[in-house]
Chain A
Amino acid sequence: MTDSEQHPYVEWIASEARRPVLMDSDARDRIMAAVRAEPVPAAVPAWRRFLQPRVFHMSPAASSLLAAGLVGIGVLTGVTMSNRGGHSAEPPREVAVLPSQPPVSDTLVKFVFVAPQAQNVSLVGDFNEWDLAKTPMTRSGQSGLWTVVLPLSAGRHLYAFVVDGSSWVQDPSAPIAPDDGFGHANSVKLVVRGSSS
């Protein structure tokens, strides 16, 4: 907690804002009326749920133990293999040395947006955690043209422009991704490794 967070005025504003609010008593009925007009969402079959990617959360201690366990298994396996007859069953194979791969974010991509009235424009996307502060765009003269160049990895990227810190705008020159169900239809940039755009 900072000093400002504990300031009586700030605490008073917060406590007042925590009070319940009154809404139109029919508002919930209107929501349910709209819901009833929709088709019932189909359940996802169990086999598809099994194939969906998932994120596992693990504490640092648990992840350290897991890592140590995996290393231990690897060491024990190696010791066991090396003890069979004192040498490995197969002679060591030659390993081809491949040229090193280019870095992940190796393609410079230029984003251009026209907003003559804007005071500032930011580029947000999956490449910068949708953070307004990370990629501000630069205005070119008095033309209202805003640009930024940044390195991106090859693949499909979703992005949007944010005008004056609050208006999320799609790129009129780019394809639009289908709404993801979370309220945003974003623009799409396809980046091919090694090329620049």
Chain B
Amino acid sequence: MTFAGRGWVIKQDMSDDAADVQRVLAGDVEAYAALVDRYYDRCARFAIRMLGNRDDAEDALQATFLRAYRALNRYQERDRFSAWLYRILVNQCRSVAARRAHRERVFVREEALLLNAPDRSPVWTGEDEEFVQRVLNELDPLLREAFLLKHIEEMSYEEMSALTGVGVSALKMRVKRACDRLRERWERIQHD
């Protein structure tokens, strides 16, 4: 996939997606693998950041791609396949989160070690991942969802609104609150 600026879909992808969808609907099931390959990594990142662990993320991803496949004849070419798929993913993550609410995984990692590290390595380490995931998990799910869509998936508020069915002003408020919570967390740590 190629990217134009901070946007997450470009027109080339639209034509590729539409062609692949048509191939699947014409009976070429293997064409669906191209769609899975094109969007799996990005969807996986959102699912893990949203749900906090790989097992739940994989469940959500499996359900997302399967539901998208079953509903493929309802996908309309004038819409962006990525946005359509992402809408299914967001709802699947909500469903998985609701099902496993009672068995929330808690990360026990001493974050002070990470916060006081003098140099941040550009390499993604297991400690960093656990720490960031723990911080994200502390956010209310709706705030986390809005924060991820805005600052990790880098969507516009209009795209987010079309995806979630929530108004732009409400989404802006959720993103602001999420950032406020993170900032307050930082200030608490500084005072402790």
Binding site for B on A (CB under 8 A): 2-5, 7, 9-10, 12-14, 16-21, 23-24, 27-28, 30-32, 34-36, 38, 40-44, 49, 52, 54, 129-133, 165-169, 181-184
Contacts and interface: CB of A to CB of B under 8 A. Distances in A.
B136 interface: yes
5 contacts: A7-B182, A10-B179, A27-B58, A167-B101, A182-B91
B32 A17 contact: no
A41 B25 contact: yes
- Mostly, the B contact residues are helix
Interface string B177-192: 0011011011000000
Interface of B: 24-27, 29, 32-33, 36-37, 40-41, 44-45, 48-49, 54, 57-58, 61-67, 69-74, 76, 78, 87-88, 91-92, 94-95, 97-98, 101, 120, 124, 128-129, 132, 135-136, 140-142, 147-148, 151-152, 164-167, 170, 175-176, 179-180, 182-183, 185-186
Contact of A41 (B71, B94, B120, B148): B71
Nearest to A42: B73
A130 B165 CA distance: 7
B144 to A, nearest CB: 10
Contacts, number: 164
Nearest to A55: B78
Contact of B70 (A14, A41, A168): A41
B88 A183 contact: yes
Contacts of A12: 120
Nearest to B164: A130
A2 B73 contact: no
Contacts of B58: 23-24, 27
The 8 closest A-B pairs by CB, nearest first: A183-B91, A4-B179, A181-B71, A9-B186, A43-B25, A14-B151, A167-B98, A4-B183
B122 to A, nearest CB: 10
Contacts of A183: 63-64, 67, 88, 91-92, 94-95
Nearest to A19: B124
Contact of A23 (B57, B72, B164, B186): B57
A10 B150 CA distance: 12
Given A17-B152, A27-B61, A41-B71, A32 B33 contact: yes
Given A43-B25, A131-B167, A38 B66 contact: yes
